Structure 1
Amino acid sequence: MELSAIPGVGAKTADALAELDDPEAALRAGDVATLSRAPGVSEGRAARIARAAIRTEHDDPGGFLATDRAREVYRAMLDELKARTVTDYGAKRMETFYPSAAQSRIEEVRTFAERAMDRTVSEAVLDALAGVEPLTDPRDVSVRDRCLATTNGETYATAREAIPELPVEVVDDARGLADLARGYSTVIALDETFAGVEVDGDVRVEPNALSNPVEVVPERALAFFATNRDRIRAAIAVHRATDLDAPCDLDALEDALSGLTGDGGIAGDAEVDRLATALDDLDAAVGMAENVANDRLREAIEERDVTIEGADLLSLVERGAGVDSLLSRELADEYADAVDAARDHLVESLDLDTGEAEVARRAFGDEPTYPVDHDESVVSRLREDLTAAKERRETRLKRELADELADRRGDAEALVGAALELDVALAVARFADDYDCTLPTFADEGVAIEGGRSLLLDVPHDEADPVDYGIEGVALLSGVNSGGKTSTLDLVASVVVLAQMGLPVPAESVRLQRFSSLHYHAKTQGTLDAGAFESTVREFADVADGGADSLVLVDELESITEPGASAKIIAGILEALDENGASAVFVSHLAGEIRETANFEVTVDGIEAVGLVDGELVVNRSPVKDHLARSTPELIVEKLAGESEATFYDRLLEKFE
């Protein structure tokens, strides 16, 4: 499929779609989730592109919905379907379903609908679906705790391009490596010449590092899973709650995801957690250790009677000695105990290991001082050591996790994609179940509906009267006001729209031909002016000339002009539609006049009122074939004639015969 050949897809959009792994497969499948990952393509835009691609694939010229009212019915049916989706994706994906005249497209969707209607809908599945969203690409990954180093300008350029996530530094010699090692937790030297060089810090000589990015920058692979972690987990829950075939081991994938935080860090590792906690608590722990030492020393001073002979005091003063010297002379042991307590508190509160504890203890010196204070340079060194240890361990764990997840991106995409498509299928299943739908049968001619209920009525579906109605050729539909003529047209229109979308219809059974277009004209409000009248007549001229295999539904066209002229115009339109092989139903109160005017025998169907009960019409909602229904005035006059002996009502009633 040529991307630029799809209607509405320009060169810029085609280039964006081309960046996807398999845009043609996504277009054929109507895969809105995949299409929306193309740069600059929103889900709504993706749905429109998919719909256009489907039309192209099935050689469908479009234009099935030929009037505003036909499009309104389609939108109403689509809204009912979208209301039963759980995900935003599902609602957008529904937009790719449309009524088509192309048999291949109808059959394609029918196959999908048949499978969907066999599915069982459970609350557990719907709850799990609530957390599923299309996967997104992570933002650019940037790692600053490690760097690549080289002495070669060409290697520098290659490294910048191959691994943009890491800083790349140019060094001249081992001294340059040593300088970098003081600023980064890990330095990866790309030159073989550095092999065997020993410098302080974590320096690794890996000449082949650029060919294995996962080892060097595991964050690249992990970023995708970190960004989409919750969505993948939700998709796993969907698969567990249904009979969907999983593309991978769900337990293994979920276990791997449990080791990852939402920002791409390592989760659930005790050592990383210990180091992170130590870093977070370091300053507070140092301050508390000082307090421990000073409290101890203060208590010791308060409990001791320090006696200094005059000669000793004079000697101390002459030497300019202060309290530190006094402490050293009189309270040396107590000071040592206080400092040891501070050191122990710092080590224990931060849960430091042996090597870290050795550094931490140097934060409090042996030289007496009051108040006891820490050595900030030692605390800074401890912070650097803890940070480096944490970053090194995280990097190692990230490598291990990236090795496990790197090849599972496709599985994750398939997992989420299947869950999102399930939402669409379940929406169809719920629609079919809520409205007692069935899949229609396509035949050669007309429409036959049994037990149909219009979804456009303002009453609960189960309270609507079922309607049987058939259309063969051209017919007039007569009946009393509020008897259900318009709702019958709505039923026919919605059934045809859903059927030619390939979806189930709200009826016990439906047989219909595959129409080329649907022309549904709603009731006109008031008489049209000359210009609007001319436009309406022109529109019917187009339908009459090219309306073969089309379905035309018209509601009280006589309101466009004077009743006498209306009957003649409608009769002429019906004659043209009949000659052209169209199927049509015109609702009209002028059925008798139109039938007399037409030059062929027009079928007149009637929605018959059984009578009046307490002033309310009792109506048989299913139209009676070849029957001109009595009007409301006739029923009222008949009722009055039956209740009175006055001959006046009888005379009026004779006028209806």
Structure 2
Amino acid sequence: MELTSIPGVGEKTADALQDLDDPEGALERGDVAALARASGISPGRAARIARGAIRRNYDDAGNITATPPARNIYQEALSLLQERTVTDYASQRLETLYPSAARTRIEDVRERTRTAMERDPSPAVRDALAGVEPLSEPTDLRIRDRCLATRDAETYAKAREAIPEVSVELVEDARTLSELARGYATVVVLDESFAGTDLEGDVRIEPDALDDPSSVVPERTLAFFAQNRDTLQAAARVHRQAGLDAPCDLGALESALSRLDTDGEVRGDEELDRLTDAVNDIDAAVSEAERVANDHLREAIEERDVTIEGTDLLSLVERGAGVDSLLQRELADEYDAAVAAARETLVETLGLRDTKSIARRAFGDEPTYPVEHDESVINRLRTELTAARDRRATEQKHELAADLAGMREDCEQLVERALELDVDLAIARFAADFDCTMPALGGEGFAIEGARSPLLDVPFEAVEPVDYEVTGVTLLSGVNSGGKTSILDLVALVVVLTHMGLPVPAERARVGRVAELQYYAKTQGTLDAGAFESTLREFGELTTSVSEDRPVLVLVDELESITEPGASANIMAGILEALADRDATAVFVSHLASEIRETAATDIAVDGIAAEGIEDGELLVDRSPVKGQLARSTPELIVEKLADEEADEDAAFYQSLLEKF
């Protein structure tokens, strides 16, 4: 895929996308989160790029929402869906849904929508989804206890690129290798020529190490799973709660993750824990062993009476002997017992096994008081324990990394399916919250039954259902506050949702496929000459663009406000005539329906939102337009009410006014 062929993707953006592991796959899937990981690309821009890729794949260059009010309807519909997501990913992913003119695109989304509407957005699933987010790669991973070594400059360059987490060193001979081994716990040699060389330290000859970086740096795999552990565990819970088929053995995955700490270290291995504790506790254990020995000696001395003859005392002084000699002569057995207790305390406290003999040498046989350890022996013990711990940790890391590495691709699918489920559940909740149904797509114009708008500033349950059907060109009349604008918004919403491939808030609906939705909202005040001319140009271009191959739905709200009423009626009559000649579908809301119909040279259908009267100052209105009926105005209803209510003389006046309508 040529990335620059996607609308909105230039050379710089294409370069950023190329740094992703699979940019083509991310674009094919519409994976907004993956695209947003590219440098300099925000989630909003990623959504636009994904939409551009989808449009290109479907050869869908059209823009159905051709006017600002139409685009506002789309944004409001999108917001209603996004409000029902749990994850940021799903909210971003929904932005790749757009009203399309391509039948194949609409049908593909409709197929997914039907499946989504059957899902159950249970609280348990949504709670589990709260812990899911797109997988992320660890950054700045550095391993400082090992290095790679080679004498070949080309291999050196390859190693630095393949395994950047560890240092790579150029060496000349075995001597320099030995020097490296003194500075690193492990040296991995990439040259087979060193095989058979007698080298000190942990030096491994592995010429094929670059083919399997995880053999050198298991931490790379472990860091990825440690960083994403919570997300993977949450995704597993989502699959269980939702009854989804998992791409991997969830039990095996959860078991492996339970052995991994948040910092990428292995946990749950008794031998590693024993060695780690021994290294950490060695100083405290030595102090405890000394205390045990000295307490033993002190108690022995306090319990015994030691008598020294004068000649013996002189002899000891002449020889320069001190308390050590006295201990050796008088308390040899007690000293041996004290040292034995110290040795056993050290061994038992640290849980030593292979290094018991070293630990026992920490306390010598020569009597001293107080009993003290040999620091050189303790340092040797510390070194041996640390090496054993590191070897065990490395073994465990290799073992766990091997288990997890094979799950990487399945885990990516696990999280992707959980995130995509959130998209489906948002659609399911939207459909349930607004009593939606899948509309039929085809025919001319539109027909809606039992439709209610979720865009109104009242609870959805309080919205009155509307039935309305239009084919061809129609004038919609009605009293003020009768719901004419709300019907246009509702029709626009149904048309937009249908072309997005989504359900609509109606009991039944049929929508003819359109290439453009031209929605013109009510203008505020009369336009000046320049704005008026610009508006006429828009309608001039509109009327000439409609064709059988390019069907357009036109919704216009009180166009008469752009200029004087008489001129407005003439202008709208002309626009409607032109649209009718091209078999367009249009609904024009106007208070001048009667004047427009009289002016037009073509029969123009007129529908009306019927007001049945006024009660307690409130209009009684049937919100569904009545076909072929010119609605009465609010003033006419008020005059009629007065004519019915007033006394004879006043009633005659109001009756005469009523006859003027």
Same fold, judged at TM 0.5 (above): yes
Q: CA deviation at 1:48?
A: 1.3
Q: CA deviation at 1:100?
A: 1.5
Q: CA deviation at 1:500?
A: 0.7
Q: CA deviation at 1:5?
A: 0.9
Please list, as runs of the form range in 1=range in 2, the aligned pairs for 1:307-318 lying within 5 A after superposition: none
Taking the aligned partners of 2:478 and 2:281, their CA distance within structure 1 comes to 84
SS at structure 2 position matched to 1:411: helix
The corresponding residue for 1:425 is: 424
1:580-622 C-alpha deviation (Å, 9 max, x unpaired): 4332222222222232333322222111122223322221111
The letter for the 1-side match of 2:28 is R
Q: CA deviation at 1:242?
A: 3.0
SS at structure 1 position matched to 2:644: helix
Query: Residue 86 of structure 2 contacts residue 129 of structure 2 at CA under 8 Å; is this kept in 1?
Result: yes
Taking the aligned partners of 2:100 and 2:622, their CA distance within structure 1 comes to 33
SS at structure 2 position matched to 1:95: helix
Taking the aligned partners of 1:330 and 1:562, their CA distance within structure 2 comes to 128
Taking the aligned partners of 2:609 and 2:372, their CA distance within structure 1 comes to 99
Query: Residue 99 of structure 1 contacts residue 499 of structure 1 at CA under 8 Å; is this kept in 2?
Result: yes
Taking the aligned partners of 2:513 and 2:251, their CA distance within structure 1 comes to 48
Task: Pick closer, same or farther for the CA change 1:531–1:342 going to 2, 3 Å.
Answer: farther
Please list, as runs of the form range in 1=range in 2, the aligned pairs for 1:162-561 lying within 5 A after superposition: 162-171=162-171, 174-305=174-305, 327-328=327-328, 331-353=331-353, 355-548=354-547, 549-561=551-563
Query: Residue 645 of structure 2 contacts residue 651 of structure 2 at CA under 8 Å; is this kept in 1?
Result: no
The corresponding residue for 2:659 is: 655
Figure out how many residues of one structure are paired with residues of the other and give that number.
656
Taking the aligned partners of 2:313 and 2:534, their CA distance within structure 1 comes to 119
Task: Pick closer, same or farther for the CA change 1:201–1:604 going to 2, 3 Å.
Answer: same
The corresponding residue for 1:588 is: 590
Query: Residue 297 of structure 2 contacts residue 338 of structure 2 at CA under 8 Å; is this kept in 1?
Result: yes
1:485-531 C-alpha deviation (Å, 9 max, x unpaired): 11111110100110011111111111121111112222223344444
Query: Residue 343 of structure 1 contacts residue 360 of structure 1 at CA under 8 Å; is this kept in 2?
Result: yes
Taking the aligned partners of 2:574 and 2:294, their CA distance within structure 1 comes to 109
Please list, as runs of the form range in 1=range in 2, the aligned pairs for 1:56-205 lying within 5 A after superposition: 56-152=56-152, 155-171=155-171, 174-205=174-205
Taking the aligned partners of 2:154 and 2:534, their CA distance within structure 1 comes to 73
1:130-150 C-alpha deviation (Å, 9 max, x unpaired): 222112222243222233344
Greater mean alpha carbon deviation, residues 53-62 or residues 304-313: 304-313
Q: CA deviation at 1:461?
A: 1.7
Q: CA deviation at 1:316?
A: 5.6
1:214-257 C-alpha deviation (Å, 9 max, x unpaired): 32322233333233222222222222233433333333333333
Taking the aligned partners of 1:480 and 1:320, their CA distance within structure 2 comes to 124
Query: Residue 222 of structure 1 contacts residue 402 of structure 1 at CA under 8 Å; is this kept in 2?
Result: yes
Q: CA deviation at 1:53?
A: 0.9
Taking the aligned partners of 1:152 and 1:326, their CA distance within structure 2 comes to 66
Query: Residue 274 of structure 1 contacts residue 351 of structure 1 at CA under 8 Å; is this kept in 2?
Result: yes
Taking the aligned partners of 1:413 and 1:502, their CA distance within structure 2 comes to 27
Taking the aligned partners of 2:378 and 2:539, their CA distance within structure 1 comes to 89
The letter for the 1-side match of 2:144 is R
The letter for the 2-side match of 1:210 is L
Query: Residue 455 of structure 1 contacts residue 461 of structure 1 at CA under 8 Å; is this kept in 2?
Result: yes
The letter for the 2-side match of 1:229 is R
Taking the aligned partners of 1:335 and 1:573, their CA distance within structure 2 comes to 116
| Unmatched 5+ stretches in structure 1 | none
The corresponding residue for 2:53 is: 53
Taking the aligned partners of 1:649 and 1:589, their CA distance within structure 2 comes to 27
Q: 1:632 aligns with which of 621, 631, 634?
A: 634
Query: Residue 478 of structure 1 contacts residue 606 of structure 1 at CA under 8 Å; is this kept in 2?
Result: yes
| Unmatched 5+ stretches in structure 2 | none
Query: Residue 285 of structure 2 contacts residue 350 of structure 2 at CA under 8 Å; is this kept in 1?
Result: yes
Greater mean alpha carbon deviation, residues 431-440 or residues 387-396: 387-396
Taking the aligned partners of 1:443 and 1:650, their CA distance within structure 2 comes to 54
Task: Pick closer, same or farther for the CA change 1:331–1:57 going to 2, 3 Å.
Answer: same
Taking the aligned partners of 1:586 and 1:479, their CA distance within structure 2 comes to 12
1:407-437 C-alpha deviation (Å, 9 max, x unpaired): 3322222222122112111211221121111
Query: Residue 33 of structure 2 contacts residue 92 of structure 2 at CA under 8 Å; is this kept in 1?
Result: no
The letter for the 2-side match of 1:253 is L
1:295-332 C-alpha deviation (Å, 9 max, x unpaired): 44444455555555666656666666665555555555
Task: Pick closer, same or farther for the CA change 1:520–1:332 going to 2, 3 Å.
Answer: farther
1:241-298 C-alpha deviation (Å, 9 max, x unpaired): 3343333333333333333223322122111122222233333333333444444444
Q: CA deviation at 1:462?
A: 2.2
Query: Residue 444 of structure 1 contacts residue 512 of structure 1 at CA under 8 Å; is this kept in 2?
Result: yes
Query: Residue 643 of structure 2 contacts residue 652 of structure 2 at CA under 8 Å; is this kept in 1?
Result: yes
Taking the aligned partners of 1:564 and 1:324, their CA distance within structure 2 comes to 126
Query: Residue 444 of structure 2 contacts residue 512 of structure 2 at CA under 8 Å; is this kept in 1?
Result: yes
Taking the aligned partners of 1:198 and 1:420, their CA distance within structure 2 comes to 54
Taking the aligned partners of 2:651 and 2:329, their CA distance within structure 1 comes to 133
Q: CA deviation at 1:638?
A: 2.1
Q: CA deviation at 1:9?
A: 0.5
Q: CA deviation at 1:39?
A: 4.5
SS at structure 1 position matched to 2:468: strand
The corresponding residue for 2:571 is: 569
Taking the aligned partners of 1:154 and 1:628, their CA distance within structure 2 comes to 87
Query: Residue 159 of structure 2 contacts residue 210 of structure 2 at CA under 8 Å; is this kept in 1?
Result: yes
SS at structure 2 position matched to 1:359: helix
The letter for the 1-side match of 2:643 is A
The corresponding residue for 2:616 is: 614
Q: CA deviation at 1:537?
A: 3.3
Q: CA deviation at 1:47?
A: 1.5
State the superposition RMSD in angstroms.
2.8
